[in-house]
Amino acid sequence: MKIELEPIGTFYTDADNIPRHWSVSDVAGRIVIDKRYEAGLKSIKKGEKIIVLFHFHKSRGFDTGKLVQTPPHRGRAMGVFSICSPYRPNPIGLSVLAVTDIHENVLYVKHADMIDGTPILDIKPHIADKHDCPSYTKGT
């Protein structure tokens, strides 16, 4: 099976020092969505959180020797699926970002852990509580 993904936009930031994880980041930036997808931003509001899936486009190729890695902040060997390393079988990242503003096809965000020029694959709503999800019904 072959899976092909096409970026829907690009992340930009002026920051040089990018934290390893969104939960410890104050980095601000903007996601510029391709104009053909702009209508898909409807209903995203300033102050909300969004989930952003992105491509680790600068990550070196993966080999099975990287299934166990030692993150510098952990100091012990760990499996790749239990850490946030950009060196993964599929170089896909996930961040939860706060939307600080929206202007046409541009989302201004903070808490970024992506470098300037990162391709954005998808954006999803951040649903913290099952009652925030309009399709939630009791028992499902």
For 44-91, write each residue's pLDDT tens digit. Answer: 999 999 999 999 998 888 888 889 988 887 889 988 888 888 888 889
Residues 37 and 31 sit within 8 Å (Cβ to Cβ): no
Q: What pLDDT shows up at residue 131?
A: 63
Q: What pLDDT shows up at residue 65?
A: 84
Predicted confidence (pLDDT) at residue 139 exceeds the cutoff of 80: no
Question: Alpha-carbon distance 94 to 111, whole Å?
Answer: 12
Question: Alpha-carbon distance 105 to 124, whole Å?
Answer: 16
Domains and CATH numbers, the chain: 9-127 (2.40.30.70)
Residues 70 and 77 sit within 8 Å (Cβ to Cβ): yes
